[in-house]
Amino acid sequence: MPSEAGAARVVAVTTARRAGVPGLLWGLVFGVTIAATEQAYFSSFPTEASRRALARSMQGNTGFEAVFGPIQGMDTVAGYTQYKSMFSLVILASIWGLLIATRVSRGEEDNGRWGLFLSGLTTRARAAAQAAVGLGAGLVALWAPTAVIAVASGSTSRVGIGVGDSLFFATAVVAAAAVFMAVGLLVGQLAATRHDANVLGAAVLAASYLIRMAADSDSALTRLRWLSPLGWIEELHPLTNASALPLLPVVVLVAVLVGAAVAVAGRRDLGSSAFPGRDAPRPRTLLLGGQGGLTLRLTRPAILAWTAALGATGVVFGLVAQAAGNALQGSPGLEHVIERLGGKSAGAVAYLGFVFVIAAGIVAIAIAGQVSAIRNEEASGHLDNLLVRPVARWRWLAVRLLVGLGLVVGGSVLVGLAAWLGALSQSADLGLGDLLEAGLNVAPPALFVLGVGALAFGLWPRGAIGVTYGLVVWSFLAETIASVTDSGHWLRSTSPLLHMTPAPAASPDWTAAALLVGLGLTAALAGVAAFGRRDLQGA
């Protein structure tokens, strides 16, 4: 006979499964990133002199500290690893924590599955508490591979970072995920839809980052750090000046947020919200004249968000280009990387050549999101509403891919333009034409990813999202693994990101770019043809 405890456990187990698998995958990515950063330190700065030069040039650079966090002990592998990887991992962990929490709470409520859970032997509050327990399992799944890989890499004789420090570093990163999971749980109870919950959560994350940024930009404002969860995590300094005390407010905040989420869940009606959405807005039919307009309307929020993110990324690249170029001047490691990628320049141009490869990765992630949206349109059954009317399958998919093409080209050029504007504000001598060209240079790998995604959608719709994101993740990992294992050229050649030259540190190789675009286009055409010949497939 089913018991109440057993019924409630179903929610926890289901949530743990949904959070555990991606948690494990992201943990692997986090662990490899930490290991790669530690190894890169020795290849980029092989001599004591180069390390001291790096530390001298970076120390006290408030611009860098405001954007990426405090700079400490840059002449040690521990200080370098903390500075180089902690910021990005903490932000990624925060975003993941927020999205997974809103997905398993408000997302489940939006699609009606939460109601099925609540029709069993459980209550709204108990189910919300069990979801929090399931998310806790997701945190463990995130922490374990991060910690194991960090310990394995840190324990090598060359790196020499203590086991305790590596474990604490993994804990610091996962603490960010825990905070924003708890934020996600609460906003999931307050907002009208998962989309609205994500917007609220993103606002909390942005505010936390801005407060932390202000605190790190001026020594007089340091105390502001204690107003931001990201500031508390920064105060942990896991690899340089470790202190567990800031974990206390993290734990208290998570407990308070989860408690509040459970309390709100117990008091509100299913489907209701504290911040109700507008269920009867003024009709807007401007874009609803056909399939193309509908595509624009449905993808507009994602396109605007990615455009803003790419613009901000470009501005940050431009703002720090001159200072970063000076700091890395004479780094044989960076010069080696740029040379291997086909570049020759030094200074700000070399720095931008390096970071524009990262921009190419971000554009590729954005386009993988478009492939995911294409598949979700079919899986949800929304596409049926169009294809039972006089709309050709090839036309529908072609329009969706054209919107993706627009995002890639527009976003890429925007990165270049924004970097130029950022550099201009710092009086860096960088040409608009060169940076626009460098921006356009990041588009071909993403177009290749789009083509492969379309082909996977045509042939294997249920695997399309995994194939596309897998290709993007592999593009990042191939270089990282190759540099760690020194396994040579063949591994790097499997990454589309590494078939672009590091403009503006080198002239774009338009022949290689045309080849990537051509392969992407061929794959996309094959995908469109395959889609026309197969059954529609639900989730």
Q: How far is the CB of 78 from another protein (least distance, A)?
A: 48
Residue 67 is which amino acid? V
Question: Where do we find the tokens 């990454």?
Answer: 495
Q: Interface with another protein includes 386 (CB under 8 A)?
A: yes
Which structure tokens are listed for 433?
Answer: 């034409």
Residue 330 is which amino acid? G
Phi-psi region of 392 (alpha: psi -120 to 50; beta: other; left: phi over 0): beta
Q: How is residue 269 annotated by DSSP?
A: P
Spatial separation of the C-alpha atoms in residues 469 and 368, rounded to whole Å: 6
Mask 52-91, x = binds another protein (CB under 8 A)?
----------------------------------------
Q: In a 3-state reduction of DSSP, which class is residue 275? A: strand
Residues 6+ positions from 206 with CB-CB distance below 8 Å: none
Mask 450-479, x = binds another protein (CB under 8 A)?
------------------------------
A 10 A CB-CB count for 65 gives: 21
Q: How far is the CB of 64 from another protein (least distance, A)?
A: 41
* Of the residues 119, 157, 285, 511, which one makes contact with another protein according to CB under 8 A: 285
Nearer Cβ to another protein (65/110): 110
Q: How far is the CB of 389 from another protein (least distance, A)?
A: 5
Which structure tokens are listed for 105?
Answer: 């709470």
Question: Where do we find the tokens 């049926």?
Answer: 384
* Of the residues 47, 116, 279, 488, which one makes contact with another protein according to CB under 8 A: 279
Nearer Cβ to another protein (1/388): 388
Nearer Cβ to another protein (9/195): 195
Nearer Cβ to another protein (285/427): 285
Spatial separation of the C-alpha atoms in residues 372 and 468, rounded to whole Å: 8
Nearer Cβ to another protein (1/280): 280
Q: Interface with another protein includes 535 (CB under 8 A)?
A: yes
Question: Can the peptide bond before residue 504 be classed as cis, meaning omega within 30 degrees of 0?
Answer: yes
Q: How far is the CB of 468 from another protein (least distance, A)?
A: 23
Q: Interface with another protein includes 507 (CB under 8 A)?
A: no
Which structure tokens are listed for 166?
Answer: 């590596």
Nearer Cβ to another protein (5/392): 392
Q: How far is the CB of 121 from another protein (least distance, A)?
A: 24
Query: Minimal CA–CA distance to 501: which of 486, 516, 491?
Result: 516
Spatial separation of the C-alpha atoms in residues 184 and 231, rounded to whole Å: 19
Nearer Cβ to another protein (2/289): 289
Spatial separation of the C-alpha atoms in residues 171 and 243, rounded to whole Å: 12
Q: How far is the CB of 202 from another protein (least distance, A)?
A: 18
Mask 194-223, x = binds another protein (CB under 8 A)?
-x----------------------------
Among the residues of 45-123, which ranges form H helices? 48-58, 62-68, 77-102, 108-110, 113-118
Mask 330-369, x = binds another protein (CB under 8 A)?
----------------------------------------
Q: How far is the CB of 530 from another protein (least distance, A)?
A: 12
* Of the residues 214, 373, 387, 398, which one makes contact with another protein according to CB under 8 A: 387
Q: Interface with another protein includes 269 (CB under 8 A)?
A: no
Spatial separation of the C-alpha atoms in residues 382 and 378, rounded to whole Å: 6
Three-class HEC string of 512-538: HHHHHHHHHHHHHHHHHHHHHHCCCCC
Burial group, residue 203, by CB count within 10 angstroms (0-12, 13-18, 19+): exposed
Q: How far is the CB of 512 from another protein (least distance, A)?
A: 39
Q: Interface with another protein includes 305 (CB under 8 A)?
A: no
Q: Interface with another protein includes 426 (CB under 8 A)?
A: no
Burial group, residue 247, by CB count within 10 angstroms (0-12, 13-18, 19+): middle
* Of the residues 381, 431, 463, 466, which one makes contact with another protein according to CB under 8 A: 381
Residues making contact with another protein (CB under 8 A)? 110, 193, 195, 277-281, 283-285, 288-291, 294, 298, 380-382, 384-392, 533-536
